[in-house]
Structure 1
Amino acid sequence: MDNASSNSIALQEFLLDAQILLTQSQECLQHLELIDNDPDACHCLNNTLDTLARRANGLGLIEVSRYTEALQRLLAPACREQHLKGEALPALDACLTLLAWQLELVDPRTGRLSLDTCEQITLLGELAGLLNQPAPQTCASCNERESSCIHPHSEAPSKPSPHH
């Protein structure tokens, strides 16, 4: 019971910190709306999403971590190539809004997020199109099939994933 209690406390602390990180991401986006391709805002956004993804992954919040990782993988080359401007910014805002909803809907006791991932796939696909990038691989189809995920992630898995 102590382990469950400490996991619940860690999850609640993460959810509070995640709101701060999400606010920082929104501030970075607002900065990008004022100054196209600002390197500091891009760097801040990338670091904030990286921190959020790593912390969510560490707590086993797979839906949040994989979505955040996919979003970060889309944004990194756009920032490097200075293509994060114009029509892509409202799409990025929609992605961050979905992330905010996901964080609000995470069960603070179990860490589960009971949402389908269709909206994740749609928003990431729209953003990818606006950034002239291929749509990122997500775990949505693996989750829907309730199978082990074989998609590459930013961190090496702790054990090899079986192929299906």
Structure 2
Amino acid sequence: MESTAFNSSALQEFLLDAQVLLTQSHECLQHLELIDNDPDACHCLDNALDTLARRASGLGLLEVAHYTCTLQQLLAPACRHLHLHSKALPALSACLTLLAWQLELVDKQTGRLALDASEQVALLAELATALDQPLPQTCAPCHNTGEACTHPHKADPAASSPPARPH
């Protein structure tokens, strides 16, 4: 399938950069384990995940982009409000470990990650619970099929999602 050839040199460059961003994310996590809610560590973590998600999306690494973006969206409010408390850090660590593992398993020829999303969903749900936040929602068609959402991830939530229902 030459028509769907993947730019493997761009992928290799991305994977090298992704390792740097993951290392940076782990360092931020270690800093947060030492100093609760450190604003610099939160900002650094948010930026690293945002960069990783945008770069993965730009390369068409949809599964990695979706997972990273969802993780970043989940953490952003906690970081912004300095509410990333210690009980959430083990779940965050597990999410980052899964991300590192996924990057190792990206097919170097196609850029695809042939895994089901159940572990992603479980870890993100665990983190959301620890942060006392709802899990960011995918669009309805992607949620119904269980597929990684390929739609714009940074859309204005007020414009694209229904109002939150009270619990």
Q: 1:29 touches 1:89 (CA, 8 Å); kept in 2?
A: yes
Q: Which residue of 1 aligns with 2:34?
A: 34
Q: Which amino acid aligns with 2:39?
A: P
- The answer to whether the 8 A contact 1:121-1:140 is kept is no
Paired residues, number:
156
Q: Normalization by structure 1: what TM-score?
A: 0.84
- Residue 87 of structure 1 aligns to a residue whose secondary structure is helix
2:63–2:148 Cα contact (<8 Å) kept: no
| TM-align CA RMSD | 2.8
Moved over 6 A (4+): 1-6
Q: Determine the structure 2 residue equivalent to 1:110.
A: 110
**Superposed counterparts of 1:1-164, under 5 Å:** 7-138=7-138, 142=142, 145=145, 149=149, 153-154=153-154
Pair 1:139–1:27, CA change in 2 (3 A): farther
Distance 1:120 1:66 in 2: 10
Aligned partners of 1:37 and 1:84 also within 8 Å:
yes
2 CA distance for matches of 1:99 and 1:125?
15
| Percent of aligned pairs sharing the same letter | 71
CA contact (8 A) 1:125 1:136 kept: no
TM value normalised by structure 2: 0.83
Answer whether contact 2:61 2:111 (CA < 8 A) is retained.
Answer: yes
Greater Cα offset, 2-11 or 56-65: 2-11
Q: Work out which structure has the larger RCO, using CA pairs closer than 8 Å and 6 or more positions apart in sequence.
A: 2
1:59 shift after superposition: 0.3
Q: Which runs of 5+ in 1 are unaligned?
A: 157-164
